[in-house]
Structures are given as structure tokens and as C-alpha cells.
Chains A and B, each alone.
Chain A
Amino acid sequence: TQLLEQSPQFLSIQEGENLTVYCNSSSVFSSLQWYRQEPGEGPVLLVTVVTGGEVKKLKRLTFQFGDARKDSSLHITAAQPGDTGLYLCAGNSGTYKYIFGTGTRLKVLA
């Protein structure tokens, strides 16, 4: 059974602080995606990483895929209240079956 563990589970920080969210598995994934979900809505894709060691930047968000393609991280620089939400990683082992992580709930205080 493939499992994706995210840490931390909850994070409450002040506006302007930096943070990192981790997504770890013992399984290898052919690609990994990060989503953000707001209350009452479905998750929305932030980024897809497919190559081991790949780093992608999306404004203040930096995503990294581990060299062995078993883990990933999301780093947010100078967090803003608009970054508040549930962050989810999702792995695909090449079968189009996407397995989601346990989620990290982020709250950024103004």
C-alpha cells in the first residue's frame, strides 16, 4: 500500500514568516503534485514535479522533488494570509491512480 505522510499536520504562523511542508513516502512516484484546498471547495493544482531533484518556483512558493522520487517539499517565503488553506501532495506511480497525502493545514495570521 502506498502511503504519503505530510508534516507538519497543522501550522499557524505570522504573516511574513517562512515555512516548509514535507511529503514523504517509502514508494517511488513517477510524478508528484501539490494542491491547495479552501473550505467548501475541491483541491486546486499548484504544481507537478516529474524529475528527481527537480525544483520549481511559483512566485513565493518553491517545490522540490527528492532525488529518489520518494519525497517532496513545499517552501513558502514571506507567508501571507491568502496562503491559508489545506495543502495536499498527491503521488502517481504511473498508473493514473493518484494517492493523496495526509494534508497540512496552514493558517497565516495577519
Chain B
Amino acid sequence: NAGVTQTPKFRILKIGQSMTLQCTQDMNHNYMYWYRQDPGMGLKLIYYSVGAGITDKGEVPNGYNVSRSTTEDFPLRLELAAPSQTSVYFCASSQGNSPLHFGNGTRLTVT
């Protein structure tokens, strides 16, 4: 079972560039999340979704956008990359009160 798959694993962006981080899950989970993790720190919630067509802001949504057109996919868009967005990004999914299932992360560097 694939679980939660994130692509790419690594990316280097120049300031002002845009990119989309992809996340897909094959567990038919309704809930999906995007977190960022700065070195040695906990995770900060960027956006989350409780189902297809429904998204909501988390703790640190500025500079990001998301969409949820299908149950499986929850892409995260950075429109104008800034050095402050250098981080490791984790996508996760869950169903009801089940635990969060995480992908292996995307390491993004903005220079």
C-alpha cells in the first residue's frame, strides 16, 4: 500500500518562482493536511481539508494556496517563493479520529 505520496522529494527555487507540491493518498481518507517543519522544530499547520471541495486555513497559511478537487489529491501551491518558505513540507491524511498518516516530506530551499 502506497499510503500518502508526496512529490517532489527535494526542490530548489529562486525567489519569486512558483511551484506546486503534490500530495496523493490511496486510503480514501476524507481529511488531508499540509504542515511545514522548520529545522529541529514541531509542525505548523498551513491548510487542511475535510473533504473534496472544502479547504480551510491553518496556523500559517500566508503565501500558500490549496485545492481539493478529488478525495485523493491535495496539492499545495506557492505563488511567489520567499526565503522564509524554506522548510520541509509534510502532507498527511486521516479518517475520523484515526491517526494522521504522513508522507515522507518535500524538502524545499528558496534562495
Contact = CB atoms under 8 A, between A and B. Distances in A.
Contact of A98 (B33, B40, B50): B33
Contact of A99 (B31, B45, B94): B45
Given A40-B104, A45-B99, A48-B99, A96 B48 contact: yes
Interface SS of chain A: strand
B58 A42 contact: no
Interface SS of chain B: strand
Interface string B27-48: 0000101010000111111001
Given A1-B59, A6-B42, A31 B97 contact: yes
Contact of B102 (A43, A92, A101): A43
Contacts of A99: 45, 59
Interface in A17-58: 31, 33, 35, 40-45, 48, 50
A101 B44 CA distance: 9
Contacts of B31: 96
A80 B4 CA distance: 30
Interface residues of B, number: 25
Given A42-B90, A42-B104, A43-B102, A100 B43 contact: yes
A1 B59 CA distance: 8
Nearest to A99: B45
A106 interface: no
A89 to B, nearest CB: 9
B105 A42 contact: yes
Interface of A: 1, 4, 6, 31, 33, 35, 40-45, 48, 50, 86, 88, 90, 92, 96-103, 105
